[in-house]
Amino acid sequence: MNDKTLPTLEEISSCVNGYDPNALPVAQAREFIARLVPRVEGVEMLALRSALGRVLARDVISDINVPSHDNSAMDGYALRGTDLAAGGDTVLQVVGSGLAGDGYQGDVAPGQCVRIMTGATMPAGLDTVVPQEFVKVDGDRVVIPAGAVRPGENRRLAGEDLARGDVALAAGRVLRPADIGMLASLGRAEVPVWRRLRVAFFSTGNELRSIGEPLDPGCVYDSNRYTLWGMLQRLGVDVLDMGVVRDDPQALEAAFREAAANADVVITSGGVSVGEADYTKAIMARLGDVLFWRIAMRPGRPMAIGRIETGGRGAILFGLPGNPVAVMVTFYALVRDALLAMSGATPAPLPMLRAASVTPIRKKPGRTEYQRGIVTPAADGGWEVRITGSQGSGILRSMSQANGLVVLAHDQGNVAAGELVDVLPFDGLI
């Protein structure tokens, strides 16, 4: 990444209205981060199927019309709209038939029509298709009752899906199944995508043990590396799992240097709490330009953000809190979109549901809260949401049980039972 042209953290903070590192609203934190993160450079050409989920690096301009010819939208009879009788039946003579890929080539005089199948090219001079179920066939004649079809109906126009010269897909698009289908309809075998973002991550804390190690007294297994790995996989970035790093200055420094040398982004968990008696913060601050925030959100208040540098290479640092729910919530609320932007994707807000809260929810104005909820269809045809049990930031089960986050906005107060709240569903159809 080209760090030379990037603004300093101080410059960025002066652009963010109401910036206060000790009580930073989520919206301001997101704005800061959006200004901080650079996009990857480097484009690769990928075969269409390999490009699913990747970010398009250049606009794709249609160089053909799709469809390439006017064609029938129905199985029926192609005719001239001007032949339809103003009132009463229209009777036409059938002079041939056209199939998809094998259209009728002959001439069709007024008063004549052509049997036609869906997708078959419209014979010259014909502009309307009457569906077969509306007509009566009588030898080589069809009888079309009044009102069965209007001129121009059931005909697909050349280029109505994509016209030559159209921007079929804009750069920044995360390619979904419909998109690779559309690219196929243009005959594209390959597309240019941004290279994958590389993200290194590790957990910090002397109490952490990795799977396979004995669980010594007072220790916990490291779960953050697994939730982080999962969330990063879903984003389609390259991951570098650097394990658990003990609270030891040399080990931490080596880990930060190695991470920054090998990745675009470094994500850590733990060790950023206020008054934390460890070395993580000191080393982050020494290796780069790093801010320590207290974000007005719950869970997930403390966070380190900035750039760390080693050997002329810089990486963006997200130092997330240690609590397992806080890691996930800060990732979704603050990191996810930043990684997408770094990957070259054009930011798009996630769709939210409005769901009636089954119970009252206590909420203090002045911070954004992300409660874990289970959304189900409501009797009235809308949605309702029930908070999963205890909302402690160490209770990962609350995330596992939930199918969405109830997002209670910064200024919002208590929620009454039945009141509508915003829910960010975990699952999207993509």
Give the residues lining the site for Mg ion (CB under 5 A).
205, 270-271, 322
Q: Is 369 exposed, middle or buried (0-12, 13-18, 19+ CB in 10 A)?
A: buried
Give yes or no for residue 223 binding ligand AMP (CB under 6 A): yes
Smallest separation, CB 247 to ligand AMP (Å): 9
CA angle 182, 188, 190 (to 5 degrees): 115
Per-residue binding letters, 341-380, with ligand AMP (x by CB under 6 A): ----------------------------------------
Distance between CA atoms of residues 309 and 410, nearest Å: 34
Smallest separation, CB 293 to ligand AMP (Å): 14
Give yes or no for residue 227 binding ligand AMP (CB under 6 A): no
Smallest separation, CB 328 to ligand AMP (Å): 11
Smallest separation, CB 175 to ligand AMP (Å): 33
Q: Which is nearer to ligand AMP, 25 or 270 (CB)?
A: 270
Distances (CA, A) of 140 to 55, 92, 117, 134: 55, 9, 17, 16
Smallest separation, CB 410 to ligand AMP (Å): 23
In the numeric block, the tokens 């042209």 are attached to: 5
Give yes or no for residue 322 binding ligand AMP (CB under 6 A): yes
393 binds, among ligand AMP, Mg ion, none (CB under 5 to 8 A by kind): none
Contacts of 420-423 with CB under 8 Å at 24 or more apart are: 420/354, 420/355, 420/356, 420/357, 421/354, 421/355, 421/356, 421/357, 421/361, 421/385, 422/352, 422/353, 422/354, 423/352, 423/353, 423/354, 423/355, 423/373, 423/375, 423/383, 423/385
CA atoms within 13 A on the CB side of 215: 6
Largest CA distance in the chain: 94
C-beta separation of 102 from 96 below 8 A? no
Who contacts 138 (Cβ-Cβ below 8 Å, separation ≥6)? none
Smallest separation, CB 282 to Mg ion (Å): 14
Binding region for ligand AMP (CB under 6 A) out of 86-94, 205-213, 403-411, 419-427: 205-213
Number of residues lying near ligand AMP (CB under 6 A): 18
Report the residue from 208, 263, 291, 345 that binds ligand AMP according to the rule CB under 6 A. 208
Q: Which positions from 258 through 277 interact with ligand AMP, judged by CB under 6 A?
A: 269-271, 273, 276
CA angle 215, 284, 393 (to 5 degrees): 50
Q: At what angle do helices 249-262 and 280-287 cross, to 10 degrees?
A: 40
Q: Which is nearer to ligand AMP, 215 or 430 (CB)?
A: 215
DSSP at 56: B
Report the residue from 13, 71, 203, 391 that binds ligand AMP according to the rule CB under 6 A. 203
222 binds, among ligand AMP, Mg ion, none (CB under 5 to 8 A by kind): ligand AMP
425 binds, among Mg ion, ligand AMP, none (CB under 5 to 8 A by kind): none
373 binds, among ligand AMP, Mg ion, none (CB under 5 to 8 A by kind): none
Q: Which is nearer to ligand AMP, 159 or 271 (CB)?
A: 271
Q: Tokens in use for 97? A: 């038939």
Q: Which is nearer to ligand AMP, 134 or 226 (CB)?
A: 226
With CA atoms as reference, report the closest residue to 95 among 75, 70, 80, 115: 115
Q: Which residues bind ligand AMP (CB under 6 A)?
A: 203, 205, 207-208, 220, 222-224, 269-271, 273, 276, 321-324, 394
